[in-house]
Structure 1
């Protein structure tokens, strides 16, 4: 899935909870501190319970960002179950908690359960049809976008198109044609054609979309995702040299080294690299761009989100094939994100060394 969306809530304590869903918080020591804090937190009052729920959710977020999805969702489910009967939470807060649990559920590949939670959220929103608050509009848009992304990922283009039309209907009333949100909306419509396997038509629309992009850094992300989709179309046609050029351009326009878009670019780079090696062509250009990106990583501070490495790991665990530069990239990123002595870094090193010596498929 390319992107899941979060929103804002009236409840003061939960505003921090929701807006930190995709913000990287320090892992390791911070997670341990949160666990200790939860054990020592006084119980019994409404305020205390709200704080505990907030801390519990932040713990879930920290575990998610560190790649521990199963542990993360355990705490997220606890927050969700408690929110169902919590009288102090607004209906909007409960909708967002269900929405964010759907995000984590999707990460584990449970499409059906994620769809159930999101559709349940829509039902709760419709119960408040008389309300015309900005909160309701944001919640409706958030949940609808997540349903669209979910059905794109699951391959159900019919339902994906239905929710995309609903999103367009809402956003065209609010934004001008050149607004970044509407630019992304047009890209989503092209991406839907790609998902339908209408590759030539998608390519034609993509060229037109590229020339319509306004000038300015505000639209660099749009340029990056446009090049990525163009590369995917070339991959479908088996034109891996052209795909590699587009992927490198996508990296040039990319603004956030730890974004999911960047992870998807590296995942495609890994695949193209593997396919080119099958034809005895070593992707030197790909390796050079990997090294350039590692220079950027080396200059960053704090605990970086390991999503890029996770994307490459997911790909390798399915195919069982690694290119030398992909192996080096994964090890380097895990080292930068979590440290050389972190259990996940040590595991990656151990697994890759084992695969190299045995030349067999090893799942990460």
Structure 2
């Protein structure tokens, strides 16, 4: 039984005979059996043996040792991450996700949260669920690329680390001869020559056939502009005097698009001869540290002359830290690489203003802070 001791007892029924064994020296080697009197209480069981000199052989039954049932830990620690996240039944507007339930921590798991982002977009969506291991998201758009993760939460508000991530590409149609997008191109590179760059990539594959590639310019926030559709695996792009981001998607005959290759970043050398002033400054502060854990804050300063409407901060830990929870920002972590995105209430950073978010995490070998940060794709000063 759980939460108590398991104890077994035996009782004598009145109809049973009481058997008393006495040594031969006492009873003249006569063995007497005495029936239990009707209506009288049964004889008590002996719980001790006669003295050793009596010559009576005696062996008492072993007394069971009480065993305690497992006690669940009440030390505050979050659930384990969900595992085996997978996507099924992908349509133009939906996807069904399944995962393996988390291992509980100190407290009862009450539900799961699904976070997902669209590629080359700065919005993070979150869906809160009960204690289930499957869900269908019905708010997707056709021919689009998404990334999903799942976290568990307990009845005290503690959240697990994220599950494995799943990338989903929705088809352009749910009917017809081809509803399967091509595989993503690989090995996207950019070779700069003056005010232009040659983009090259390795070809994609498709269940029917790849007919071309879409080449996009990304503004570093949430706008991707189609520059060209080509049949080969290279394209020359013009380079304005700024930071330039490019990515490529394969397409098939019905218009299905693959996941993206890239982005690659190219900065124009020449005029201006030096990079423009950095539009941001980031202050990373380790507020407390103990063996295996830390709390840190990150302050993002807008050093530009215009407001930042929506922000994504990327950095790489110099140690082996793992974030376990964060506040005032949504985050994803892959290895040492962390991406933090604004919450609804701190989306806008005015010119000359700042916003701060915090995190708690674990570490084993090193808690060295990040050395560099990018805000919406642009490098930031530090300190």
Which of the five TM-score ranges fits, normalised by the shorter chain? Answer: under 0.3
TM-score w.r.t. the length of structure 2 is 0.25
Instruction: Return the index of the structure with the highest Cα Rg.
Output: 2
Greater strand share, structure number: 2
Query: What TM-score, normalized to structure 1?
Result: 0.26
Higher helix share: 1
